[in-house]
Structure 1
């Protein structure tokens, strides 16, 4: 097997398979129905967003922390602060999901089922359409503006413009990030990948090499993360040298250090 075929196969495995998609969809449908019943007349809207809607979520086998982001927009006529709405969601999950693992992680309520994890985000929406979610706990403001699905079209367009290599690349890079401590947030990593240039890239292998060669870190990033980036760059360099010397088996063995099979 070549590096190219190995990366193609691994990327395919990192794509959610139909049976897992079906289980997640059933859970989303159940969650949606329960929200409507529990909060009858109190919600403006609720919907999924994030990597699940972009098709870049990883299967649980590759990432046990894989989750579905789900926004719950309250009417909130009394202009309650985020903690009040978070408590509403906490009471909701306590009512319907007693046997599941539930915890609060500002600004979300985390609901972990056997096959998927939900991050429920409370929100409010102005009459002109602006959506607000709770600000980070370190912020002086209670709310911050968001556009939860704005990035989806940008990712889709970039994927199409690059012959459908960007989403497989994103899944590979998210897998590498997961294997190395998940220092980068999913959105941060995806947004960075979409913003890169890929001159002369045609195969998924080309895109992968180019991405790691562009990967950098800041002066104040943790040493552990810097070491992992440096290690990744060395592996890519060595893999390319093996290929240049017509040593495909050594090249494949080297790239597996970066992307172990699962």
Structure 2
């Protein structure tokens, strides 16, 4: 298999598919129904956001910390602090998912099912010129503004401009960050930097290996720069072996950067 063939195949394996996707979809639908039943009119909307909604989430067999972010939009007529709503969500999850693990992690409530983990984020709608403005917890006692769909639009545009390679490349970079970079980069930060700074990558990238090397340069950090340099060097070695007709050796070398599952 060629280097690009391997990267393309692996990027496809990094997509949640078939029965696993159906199971997650059913769990999200059940969660929505239970939230609306439990809270009634107190909850005005429920929104999926984050890597799941963007199509850059990794399957749990590649990332055991993979989760689905769910924003639960509450009325907040009395200007309560975030912890009030975190407590409400924790009571909901404990009542409706009594056999599942439920806990607070930073300003979110984590609900762990057998096949997926949900992070429930309380939010309040902020009415402004943008229809995509919400308050979410910055801490237990303070709110901060967010626009959850604005980055999604940036990624969609970047992906389209780059021959629909950007989402596969981001999944590959996230996998490398887990396997070889010890999760040094936060998942959202990696996605954001890649999409915002590689919007015009199609001018000098065409193959998967081109995009991956450019992506590694884009997200490269000073503290662990040698890991990024080593990854790029090994990709180049794999490409050289391929040019020499040593396809098996080239595949072994690229797997040193992106191991299979």
Alpha-carbon distance in structure 1 between the residues aligned to 2:72 and 2:219: 35
Q: What is residue 259 of structure 1 aligned with on the other side?
A: 258
Tell me the alpha carbon deviations over residues 29-65 of structure 1, each in whole angstroms, 9 at most, x when there is no partner: 0000000011011112111111111111111111111
Give the superposition deviation at 1:166.
Answer: 0.6
Query: Compared with structure 1, are the counterparts of its residues 231 and 13 closer, same or farther at alpha carbon in structure 2 (3 Å cutoff)?
Result: same
Contact 1:212/1:236 (CA < 8 Å) preserved in 2?
no
Q: What is residue 177 of structure 1 aligned with on the other side?
A: 177
Alpha-carbon distance in structure 2 between the residues aligned to 1:158 and 1:121: 27
Q: Which one of 127, 130, 135 corresponds to residue 132 of structure 1?
A: 135
Contact 1:165/1:204 (CA < 8 Å) preserved in 2?
yes
Q: What is residue 110 of structure 1 aligned with on the other side?
A: 110
Q: TM-score, normalised by structure 1?
A: 0.91
| Mapping for residues 223-238 of structure 1, pairs under 5 Å | 225-238=224-237
| Mapping for residues 26-105 of structure 1, pairs under 5 Å | 26-105=26-105
Alpha-carbon distance in structure 2 between the residues aligned to 1:250 and 1:46: 49
Give the superposition deviation at 1:132.
Answer: 0.5
Gaps of 5+ in 2: none
Number of aligned residue pairs: 254
Q: What is residue 160 of structure 2 aligned with on the other side?
A: 160
Contact 1:69/1:120 (CA < 8 Å) preserved in 2?
yes
Gaps of 5+ in 1: none
Over aligned residue pairs, what C-alpha RMSD do you find? 1.7
Give the superposition deviation at 1:227.
Answer: 4.3
Tell me the alpha carbon deviations over residues 79-122 of structure 1, each in whole angstroms, 9 at most, x when there is no partner: 11011110000000000111111111121001110111000001
Q: TM-score, normalised by structure 2?
A: 0.91
Name whichever of 81-90 and 195-204 sits farther off: 195-204
1:202 matched to 2:206: yes
Give the superposition deviation at 1:241.
Answer: 3.3
